[in-house]
Amino acid sequence: MTFKALVAAALLVAPAFALAQDAARVTTRERVRQGGDRLFDRQDGDKSGALEKPEWDKVTEDMVTRLRARMQKRFEEADANKDGKIARDEFLAGRMKWFDDVDANHDGVLDRDELRGYNRARARKERGGAE
């Protein structure tokens, strides 16, 4: 195959390849339905096929408990001098550390993949899994 033919073939294949790559990054109705099925199954503690109010309340309370713990940890991390207060410089230092942690390729811009990767790693860590 000549170089020109190879380039022409690459140009023909590239859009299809790019489309296939992007397909993994989109949210479809089917993915939302599948995710909803998994979420429902986790929340339906008694496996009755319905979410009763006590199950709903437990899910809500579990979320609030996790959020409260996460926010407490963030406060403790941001309070660098441990004086029980977050000064402006501590607050901004925490924000900039977060940005640097998320900016995996260190280009000064956060893209969707970096944010998604960071959030997934954080969620795994909070669930006690490996990063």
In this predicted model, what pLDDT tens digit does every residue of 60-103 receive, in sequence order? Answer: 999 999 999 989 999 999 999 999 999 999 999 999 999 999 99
Domain residue limits, the chain: 1-43
Which residues have CB under 8 Å from 93's CB, separation 6+? 78, 80
- Is 18 or 112 the better-scoring residue by pLDDT? 112
What DSSP line would sit under 11-28, residue for residue?
HHHHHHHHHHHHHTTS--
- Band (pLDDT 50/70/90 cuts) for residue 129 is low
Position 123 scores a pLDDT of 85
